[in-house]
Structure 1
Amino acid sequence: MARPVISPRWAFRGLYVAIAVLLVLIRILPIRTLPTTLPGPDLLTCITLVWVLRRPDYVPVLLIAAVFLMEDFLLMRPPGLWAVIVLMGTEFLRSREALTRELGLAMEWAMVSTVMIGMVLVYRLAYAVAFLDEPQLSLVALQLLGSILCYPVVVGLSRALFGLRKAATGEVDALGRRM
């Protein structure tokens, strides 16, 4: 029997990296000539959280760490700080993936929103402890609100464009392993 050229797991990992690179490039390219007054949502964090809850094997820990470390370097943030915070948030959600399989979107959205708020609070606390200049609270709150409101949109787009859905209870992959 013929083997597929690329397993779906590796294809989705490559897709995740491609989406991450595209989103970071869009953020750092000087597309606009005037400064923006409102920050946009953190789409990379939203996509990561959606994919961790839908198919945790598509976004392993080292891949998330590498992507967010790259983002920290390119956006000139403290290297590794946001990457570690995102890892803590994703691992918290990954450990509850089996419990969230049966949750509806509203409960999942509430849980992810709470995790996002916690991530931002830890980030601001780390800035305060290190006596760094903190970003304006109003801008951070607007970005957080935008990210929370974008989460269901990212869920829908991930389902529609990539077919990314939660694994059903007892579902197995092509090799017979439980998902």
Structure 2
Amino acid sequence: MAEPLQARVWLFRTAFVGLALGLFFVRVLPLGTEAGRWPGPDLLLCLILAWVTRRPDYLPALLIALVVLAEDLLLMRPPGLWAALVLLASEFLRSRAALTRELSFVVEWALISGLMVALLLGYRLIFALAFLPQTGFGFAMVQTLASILCYPLVVGLSWLALNLRKPAMGEVDAYGRRM
């Protein structure tokens, strides 16, 4: 009985890496390079937060750190800063998995929105403390708002395409532990 559950966990981890690679590819394409365009949402962040909220056992911390660190290197951001912040946010959600299981979607969306805004402010605060140049606050806030608005779409697509849902009461993980 444990083998199908373990296979499902590895299938989702592989799917996550595949989706992340696809998002990396789309982000480096030279689309919309003219100035004054609206920033797109951070779909990888939405995907990580949605999956950790729904099934924390599918995304281990090391996998999240490695994928976001690869994104940092690919997008030429300070290596590890965004990865560390996203990892802190995902571990915050993971530690509250039993609590978030019983939340309605609107409350969950508000929690995720607050986390995204906190990530934005933390990232900008660290940049300010290090006297690093950064984009305008309005531009960064529009990207965060776009991510907040895309979160329900990511959750819906994860549910429809991959049947990723919150665990039921009494459900066990791949190791036989209650979730």
Matched, 1:152 2:157: no
Give the SS at the match of 2:57: helix
Matches of residues 43-122 of structure 1 in structure 2 within 5 Å? 43-122=43-122
C-alpha separation in 1, matches of 2:25 and 2:36:
17
Change (3 A) 1:101 1:37: same
C-alpha separation in 1, matches of 2:146 and 2:120:
13
Q: CA offsets per residue over residues 71-130 of structure 1, 9 Å max, x none?
A: 000000000000000011111111111101111100000011111111110000000000
Measured after TM superposition, the shift of residue 31 of structure 1 is 3.7
Change (3 A) 1:174 1:17: closer
C-alpha separation in 2, matches of 1:161 and 1:50:
14
C-alpha separation in 1, matches of 2:35 and 2:161:
32
* Other-structure match for 1:8: 8
TM, length-normalised to structure 1:
0.93
Q: Percent identity?
A: 56
Greater RCO, 1 or 2 (C-alpha within 8 Å, sep 6+): 2
Give the SS at the match of 2:164: coil
Q: How many residues align?
A: 177
RMSD of aligned C-alpha atoms?
A: 1.7
Change (3 A) 1:91 1:173: closer
C-alpha separation in 2, matches of 1:16 and 1:57:
13
- Residues 57, 173 of structure 2: 8 Å contact kept: no
- 4+ residue runs of structure 1 moved beyond 4 angstroms? none
Measured after TM superposition, the shift of residue 160 of structure 1 is 0.3
